[in-house]
Amino acid sequence: MLSLAFLLAAGIVLVRDTRDSIRERVEAAMRVTVQLLDTVIVSSAMNPSLGPTHYVLQDFLKSLGYVRSSRIELYDYSNTPLYISPQSTFKSEIEPPKWFVKLVSPKEETVTRRVRYGILIISSSAEGSVREAWSGFLQLIVMGTGFFLLLNLLVYGILSHALRPVHHILRAINKIEQGDLTTRLPKFPLPEFDRIGASLNQMALSLDAERQLEQNRQLTQLIQQHIEDERRSLARELHDELGQYVTAIKTFAVAIVNKTKGKTPDIAANAQTIVAAANHIYDGMHNIIRQLRPAAMDNMGLVETLRDMVAGYQAQHADLNIQLQVSGHFEPMGENVNINLYRIVQEAINNAIKHAHAQSIQVHIVSADNGLQLTISDDGIGMQVEAVDQTRHFGLLGMRERVQALHGQFKVVSEPKAGHGTTLDIRLPVQAA
């Protein structure tokens, strides 16, 4: 487009200059011709011996022949042509188009001289100049067209060679779009394309790592679900099978106590010991069942199960202050979310009791329109989060994996020097909650 615009502008300037040049040339030739013929007329009038003026002019014009840019006509008193100048033969083989003739031809000028026994008509004629101008203009058009084609072919070739990496980049993007994250681009000579290739390789590497991480998270979630299923099954077996046997042992021991209380006190005492042991086994079994699978989860939901867990920890640790605050309206969130939140709170309280030596634990769970927020804070000794290798501390790692499997955010804030303990900030999006 730039080349065409340049050619068009150059053509307009050239046509304008050609028109001005032809006009000046024709006007100058016209003035010279008129002056020459006026001189002949005056000379003939001053020398009557030469003969009538129109015959003198006729002889002079015949000897003069063609005059460039002028058309000369001589008529006698009866309007019979005595002389008409011949046509220009300069570049007569060239036929300029009408539009070019119209653009460059100047206005025709006519000068009339009446002589004795005749009339002389001199008209301007730009035919030869127009053909000459069209010949030069045509050469410029051919040269400009050739230059235009050559320039565009050269630019096309250079750009095709320079943009060749674009095909590799688009092919790599299509492969990545179809899921082939092993696609890599080579180094390119141009630094811009090389940076694009490096960025695309890094993006593919990151996407591949993210996909593997997501697969690992899905596998972790599946393992956790299987673990919960096994815990549920084991808790049911303990309650149904072992619970019946312990109850039967306790029942038989009580019966023995009742029968031998008066007759054989030593047997009754031993049977009473069996009853106490059965009660201890029964209580321990129920504690194990509660750890394996909270029974209230299926019947009362997450909030009541958390309250029951906090009450159990409070009963076991009388000197520990554990508070549970619940805000918002809790819709049914599903088994997976409920059990994961329960395990996170359970692990966090265990960590605060065992490692942080906390005296107060605050559990705050909020349900809002944008998701769910769980905050667990304690007043323990805290920890240096940057120095903790969370890949070796399976409590933090397990909580983080549970949250990330639900596409949530997990954050640990601890300032041991300030004495503020540790705070766990967990946020789950709407689709998870």
The CATH number given to whatever domain includes residue 380 is: 3.30.565.10
Same domain, 96 and 196: no
Same domain, 261 and 356: no
Same domain, 231 and 363: no
Sequence-separated (6 or more) residues with CB below 8 Å from residue 9: none
Query: What DSSP character marks residue 419?
Result: T
Same domain, 235 and 316: no
Cα(154)–Cα(171) distance, integer angstroms: 26
Same domain, 323 and 395: yes
Same domain, 10 and 113: yes
Cα(424)–Cα(398) distance, integer angstroms: 13
Same domain, 315 and 343: yes
Cα(111)–Cα(378) distance, integer angstroms: 117
Same domain, 14 and 105: yes
Which sign, positive or negative, has the C-alpha torsion 11, 16, 21, 22?
positive
Q: Does residue 175 belong to any structural domain of this protein?
A: no
Kindly give the residue spans of alpha helices, DSSP state H, lying in 179-295: 191-237, 243-260, 265-292
- pLDDT attached to residue 153: 92
- pLDDT attached to residue 78: 85
Question: Which one of 252, 276, 293 terminates a domain?
Answer: 293
- pLDDT attached to residue 228: 73
* CA-closest candidate to residue 378, choices 393, 398, 358: 358
Question: Which one of 142, 158, 174 terminates a domain?
Answer: 158
Is-contact 57 118, C-beta < 8 A? yes
Question: Which one of 240, 272, 293 terminates a domain?
Answer: 293
- pLDDT attached to residue 7: 85
Helix (H, G, I), strand (E, B) or coil at 391: coil
139-170 burial code (b ≥16 CB/10 A, e <16):
eeeeebeeeeeeeeeeeeeeeeeeeebeeebe
Q: Does residue 336 belong to any structural domain of this protein?
A: yes
**118-124 and 110-115 beta bridge pairing:** antiparallel
Is-contact 416 385, C-beta < 8 A? no
* CA-closest candidate to residue 73, choices 123, 124, 126, 121: 121
Q: Does residue 178 belong to any structural domain of this protein?
A: no
Q: Does residue 165 belong to any structural domain of this protein?
A: no
Q: Does residue 169 belong to any structural domain of this protein?
A: no
Q: Which residues pair with 321 in a beta bridge?
A: 360
Note down the domain range covering 394. 302-433
CA 146 to centroid of chain Cα atoms: 41
- pLDDT attached to residue 112: 92
Same domain, 289 and 309: no
Q: Does residue 36 belong to any structural domain of this protein?
A: yes
pLDDT, one tens digit per residue, over 402-424 is: 888 888 889 988 876 656 788 99
pLDDT, one tens digit per residue, over 77-93 is: 888 898 998 887 777 78
Sequence-separated (6 or more) residues with CB below 8 Å from residue 275: 250, 253, 254, 257
Considering the entire predicted model, what is its pTM?
Answer: 0.49
CA count, 13 A, side-chain hemisphere, 227: 12
Q: Does residue 138 belong to any structural domain of this protein?
A: yes
Sheet holding 422-428, edge to edge: 321-327, 360-368, 371-378, 422-428, 409-414
Provide the domain count of the chain.
3
Q: Does residue 248 belong to any structural domain of this protein?
A: yes
Integer angstrom CA distances of residue 103 from 91, 125, 214, 246, 320: 19, 15, 76, 119, 105
Q: What angle do CA 204, 209, 213 make, to 5 degrees?
A: 145
Query: What DSSP character marks residue 183?
Result: -
**321-327 and 360-368 beta bridge pairing:** parallel
- pLDDT attached to residue 216: 78
Cα(372)–Cα(407) distance, integer angstroms: 12
Same domain, 33 and 98: yes
Q: Which two tokens stand for residue 192?
A: 């811009």
Sequence-separated (6 or more) residues with CB below 8 Å from residue 168: 185, 186
Is-contact 425 413, C-beta < 8 A? yes
- pLDDT attached to residue 65: 83
Low-confidence spans in the chain with pLDDT less than 70: 295-296, 298, 331-332, 385-394, 416-419, 430-433
Same domain, 97 and 6: yes
Same domain, 276 and 307: no
